[in-house]
Chains A and B, each alone.
Chain A
Amino acid sequence: MGDSMPTVMVTGANRGIGLEFARQYADAGWTVIATCRNPGRADALKALAGDVTVQAMDVGDPASIRAAKKGIGDAPIDVLINNAGLLGGRDQAFGATDYDTMGEVLRVNVIGPLAVAEAFVGNLEAGKGKRLATVSSRIGSIAENGSGGRYIYRPSKAGVNAVMKSVALDLAGQGILVAILHPGHVQTDMGGPKAPVSPADSVAGMRAVIDGLTPETSGHFFNYDGAVIAW
């Protein structure tokens, strides 16, 4: 390890897929800036071996993002992973929409990743990797929606896909590459214990997708195995 190892910043790193991203990059010798809302309760994150710094940040709160930016300063970031996100509850059937919850989910899942990208774009420009990844979901594919429902989660992920497609276009000139990722149906608090994909396999796949980005594939919507998903 040392100055030559790259830096990754992961949001929502206290559990699930975010925690696994932090673990795998730390195991690979990277410097990891791991953010979560409440570092005081991020025991699993703090127990990770390696060069891991825990930084408080609530992506749903622009003031919290500004404070985290102050803490991190101008440190180069090679890979920024917008992982933090909310499901918005289990009951998202037609007619049952909780509009306050939907507002909160849109704030965290759509506006949050844009706000993080805007706050840390200078750090990405200073890094060598120049990669911005956002954990979305296939459930946000409008084209693939064949079952309806999920009125809070689906539009939030379609919305963040639209945000990140624009970011890919706007930051292409700075050489920043953008990945929009479907992690698979993963065994996490959100995905449930019976999900078919382990966090380890999902994150290993997504790391390979991020690593393999090119200017031609920037802004695409990728499954964790690298397959492109329709909008």
Chain B
Amino acid sequence: MPTVLVTGSNRGIGLEFVRQYVAEGWRVIACCRRPDSGTALKVVGGNPRIEGLELADPASIHDLAVRLSGEAIDLLVNNAGVYGPDQTFGKTDYSAFEAVMRSNVLGPLAMVETLLPNLEKGGMKTVVAVSSTWGSIGGNKWGGHYLYGPSKAALNMVVKAQAIDLKDKGITLAAISPGWVRTDMGGEGAPLTAQDSVADMRTRIAELTLADSGSFISHAGGSIPW
């Protein structure tokens, strides 16, 4: 069975990715900041391998790569991300903005750079970044979201660039929007359950081919404008 590595896997969409891939019999490496307090992860059946990872810290990513040295990773799900505080014009907390950029842009970029040998050993050779429609510049009709939106637009650019640079190695990358999901981030009023969103995204991931690499797609299918 294939191996998937999921970041930010202690709650929300990441936890649901772990649950569903475990249920399918995959080997799952579940990463989160504080593995000791990742209690929801520990009650997932099938014993996913839990690894500590602070995405905003390149040294932590390097340490993870050392622990995973020589192991194949078929699918990397760059899921971890943060939203940040008040995103109204005039109220930006600039150090919070920097932190959002580190987690949402530098982290996923560094994961692919650092775990490339593991991905090359895998059969699927696939990386998906959980992005957001708030990162669609062309689709932005609402304003606001000053930390989160630009971080996801920048992440989309990273995915596009990596797709170009890694095509020769047969690695497929895509940015994917999970939709508006009932999680800590999405809130209780969101229309989609994490189960349905992740089931959709798994279908999209299974459909990806190298020809699709570098695209920005919706969980429901179809592409999203940059």
Contacts and interface: CB of A to CB of B under 8 A. Distances in A.
Interface of A: 62, 93-95, 97, 99, 102-103, 106-107, 110-111, 114-115, 117-118, 121, 140, 142-143, 145-151, 154-156, 158-163, 165-171, 230-231
B144 A158 contact: no
Contacts of B140: 162, 165-166, 169
Given A118-B92, A158-B156, A147 B164 contact: yes
Contacts of B58: 99
5 contacts: A106-B101, A111-B97, A111-B98, A146-B164, A230-B138
Given A155-B155, A169-B140, A106 B90 contact: no
Interface in B112-146: 113, 116, 135, 137-138, 140-146
B89 A161 contact: no
Contacts, number: 138
A171 B147 CA distance: 17
Given A148-B165, A163-B150, A230 B101 contact: no
A208 B31 CA distance: 51
A166 to B, nearest CB: 5
A162 B162 contact: no
B210 interface: no
A219 B65 CA distance: 42
B199 interface: no
Interface string B149-170: 1111111111011111110000
Given A155-B161, A167-B143, 17 more contacts: A94-B113, A97-B113, A103-B101, A110-B97, A142-B160, A147-B164, A148-B163, A149-B165, A158-B157, A162-B137, A162-B149, A162-B150, A163-B146, A165-B137, A165-B140, A231-B137, A231-B225
Given A95-B116, A99-B110, A159-B153, A121 B90 contact: yes
B94 A166 contact: no
Contacts of A154: 157-158, 161
Contacts of A162: 135, 137, 140, 149-150, 152-154
Contact of B137 (A146, A155, A161): A161
B101 A171 contact: no
A165 B113 CA distance: 30
B161 A145 contact: yes
Given A142-B156, A161-B153, A166-B89, A148 B113 contact: no
B150 A159 contact: yes
Contacts of A165: 137, 140
Given A121-B90, A231-B137, A149 B154 contact: no
Contacts of B92: 111, 114-115, 118
Contacts of B164: 145-149
B113 A166 contact: no
B157 to A, nearest CB: 4
Contacts of A148: 161-165
Contact of B143 (A97, A107, A117, A170): A170
B106 interface: yes
B226 A110 contact: no
